[in-house]
């Protein structure tokens, strides 16, 4: 069993698809095409380290969720800004704005 797990988020430059992209079906119009997650697991007892890039062919769910994560990380977009963009997913607990109430429990911002 691994004792320490760290997740790194890698973002490629605009217009460049990350070579280890998480959302495999993301188009170049999706900011998700620039995002990769690196998982590094360490076991202190024998100093072993395992690192890998997970990927998802899971349809639009992975794309929409990764688009929203990237909007927050790259642009610092607010939840209101993300809610107004297509191909996003938001899941909020206690939204501070009435326009975000529909995202309590999770909702896509556009149809598939």
The answer on pLDDT for 112 being more than 80 is: no
Question: What's residue 109's pLDDT?
Answer: 97
The CA-to-CA distance between both ends of the chain, in Å, stands at 38
Q: What is the average pLDDT across 12-18?
A: 97
Percent residues over pLDDT 90 in the chain: 88
The answer on pLDDT for 1 being more than 80 is: no
Question: What's residue 111's pLDDT?
Answer: 82
**Domain residue spans of the chain:** 4-108
| Alpha helices (H) along 8-109 | 60-70, 79-83
Query: What would the pLDDT profile of 40-78 be if each residue is shown by its tens digit?
Result: 999 988 889 999 999 998 789 999 999 999 999 999 999
What are the φ/ψ torsions at residue 100 (nearest 5 degrees)?
A: -100, 0
């Amino acid at each position: 069993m691994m004792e320490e797990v760290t997740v790194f988020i890698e973002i490629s430059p605009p217009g460049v698809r990350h070579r280890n992209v998480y959302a495999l079906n993301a188009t170049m119009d999706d900011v998700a095409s620039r995002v990769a997650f690196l998982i590094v697991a360490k076991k202190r007892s024998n100093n072993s380290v395992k690192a890998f890039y997970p990927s998802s062919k899971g349809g639009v769910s992975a794309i929409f969720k990764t688009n929203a994560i990237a909007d927050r990380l790259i642009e610092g977009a607010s939840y209101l800004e993300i809610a107004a963009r297509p191909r996003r997913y938001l899941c909020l607990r206690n939204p501070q704005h009435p326009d975000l109430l529909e995202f309590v429990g999770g909702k896509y911002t556009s149809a598939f």
